[in-house]
Amino acid sequence: MKAKATNKYIGSSPRKMRLVIDLIRGESVDKAIEILHFNPKHAAHDAEKVLRSAVANLFNTEEGSNFDTSDLYVHEVFVNQGPMLKRIQPAPMGRAFRVRKRSNHLTIVVSTKS
């Protein structure tokens, strides 16, 4: 049994989010929540929210009500690039540098061990 949760348009770069989600790929749900909760990176808060949502999505299905959180693990987790906001930063001698404010889409799939 699988359940999926996504969060779109997260206001951090995909590269920074991948540093956090690589820590939880393949881990049990209990251990993954613990890792994300005590991780000092800002992206860990968003990843923990999506992971808890995926677990809740599994429990809200008809077949998922009889599972225990110790039987669950992070089956799949990936980050895609979202749209980029392009801004202008003033530069010397009347020039302007382009600032690209990146965003990402996070997807987490939780599954049972059997």
Nearest by Cα to 108 from 56, 71, 54, 70: 54
Dist. CA 5–CA 54, nearest whole Å: 5
Q: Which domains does the chain have, with CATH numbers?
A: 2-112 (3.90.470.10)
Which sign does the torsion angle of CA 79, 1, 38, 11 carry?
Answer: positive
Give the model's pLDDT for residue 66: 77
Give me the helix-helix angle, 14-21 and 43-59, nearest 10°.
60
Maximum CA extent, the chain? 67
Give the model's pLDDT for residue 62: 72
Give the model's pLDDT for residue 64: 60
41-91 tens-digit pLDDT:
999 999 999 999 999 999 998 776 777 888 899 999 999 999 999 999 999
Give the model's pLDDT for residue 23: 96
